[in-house]
Amino acid sequence: MANGNTAIVKTLKIGGEIEINRLGYGAMRITGNGIWGEPTDHDESIRTLKALPGLGVNFIDTADSYGPNVSEELIREALHPYGADMLIATKAGLTRTGPDQWVPLGRPEYLIQQAHTSLRRLGVKQIGLWQLHRIDPSTPRDAQFGAIKELLKEGVIRHAGLSEVSVADIKAASKFFKVASVQNRYNLTDRTSEDVLDYCTAQGIAFIPWHPLAAGDLTGPGSLFDTIAKRHDAAPGQIALAWLLQRSPMMLPIPGTSKVAHLEQNMKAADIVLSGEEFAALDKEGKKRGG
């Protein structure tokens, strides 16, 4: 496990070739309540997206299901034509029937269709990173992986990744294509995917933790978390992100927000360096609180 004494690498390479800064942006929260429909403050969402390049963010994570379609459309409105170093990753494999409702759909023809429609919504000739949002249990896993292989072969997508998978899933997918990224839930107190993270680190696969800022009750007044945050003159969320960045050189956190001020605060986490003792103490406390 990495720790606070390890030099923090600021970048990583997706698929071994697309270099990006290791603190990205998740574009789920720029949509409406329940990740459904248009944002309540369209102009602020656009301002937030427009602020990304100036803050050194060159990796944006979105999905066709965010809105649905709304997140991808807002990204294009705010940032197209994109800078040469901007990588916009999107996903497919979940359909929407209403606010906060997510239904897996992994039929090969559907996945291929959605990749093509994301291509048009984002206004790009090729999607740099496309990820299977979920493995649909009602569709043969290999059929879904075969669809991704076809998208890569046709050049619709450049690199492919997975979301909410096990090490066994990654190994199975690797028989069809090179897995460039894995996006699983992971934070200080939710360490269910520890083995997946370790596997990705060993294999050079980008690990994108969703829900990265969760810290449970670790952040209460007078807590270890609170003490460390005050020591670094930082907000609790910044410490959570700093810990993730030091956990693995393949970690790619994507904190999301629809507010410029919150975005600016999140991005400052890249400059925080925890000591080895601080990192270890947070690691131990996080595991204990996470059960």
Whether the pLDDT of residue 243 is over 70: the answer is: yes
For the four alpha carbons of 122, 125, 162 and 238, in that order, the dihedral sign comes to negative
Top mean-pLDDT range of 12-16, 216-220, 225-229: 12-16
| Domains present along the chain, CATH in parentheses | 11-216+249-258 (3.20.20.100)
Least confident of 78-87, 214-223, 226-235: 214-223
CB atoms within 10 A of CB 80: 12
Which member of 25, 66, 82, 186 is catalytic?
66
Tally of CA atoms within 13 A in the half-sphere of 153 that contains its CB? 9
- Tokens standing for 211? 């829900």
Instruction: Return the DSSP state at 36.
Output: B
Model pLDDT for residues 159-184, shown as the tens digit of each residue: 999 999 999 999 999 999 999 999 99
State whether residue 123 is helix, strand or coil.
coil
Which residue reads 């960045």 in tokens?
245
Instruction: Return the DSSP state at 67.
Output: B
Whether the pLDDT of residue 103 is over 80: the answer is: yes
Whether the pLDDT of residue 132 is over 80: the answer is: yes
Model pLDDT for residues 185-196, shown as the tens digit of each residue: 999 989 999 999
Which helix or strand (DSSP H or E) is residue 59 part of?
Answer: strand 59-61
Report, as an integer, the average pLDDT of 222-235: 90
Mean pLDDT rounded to a whole number for the chain: 94
User: What is the per-residue pLDDT for 57?
Assistant: 97
Rg from Cα positions in the chain: 18
Least confident of 156-160, 209-213, 246-250: 209-213
Confidence grade of residue 288 (pLDDT, cut at 50, 70, 90):
confident
Tally of CA atoms within 13 A in the half-sphere of 94 that contains its CB? 24
Which pTM value belongs to this model?
Answer: 0.95
User: What is the per-residue pLDDT for 3?
Assistant: 57
User: What is the per-residue pLDDT for 248?
Assistant: 97
Model pLDDT for residues 50-88, shown as the tens digit of each residue: 999 999 999 999 999 999 999 999 999 999 999 999 999
Distance CA 270, CA 280 (A): 18
- Tokens standing for 24? 């990205």
CB atoms within 10 A of CB 284: 11
Distance CA 41, CA 39 (A): 5
Confidence grade of residue 14 (pLDDT, cut at 50, 70, 90):
very high
The total number of residues written for the chain in this structure: 291
Question: What amino acid is encoded at 241 in this protein?
Answer: L
Catalytic-residue membership of 66: yes
Q: In terms of C-beta density within 10 A (0-12 exposed, 13-18 middle, 19 or more buried), how is residue 185 classed? A: middle
Chain mean position to CA 234: 22
State whether residue 32 is helix, strand or coil.
coil
Report, as an integer, the average pLDDT of 39-57: 97
Report, as an integer, the average pLDDT of 208-233: 84
User: What is the per-residue pLDDT for 5?
Assistant: 44
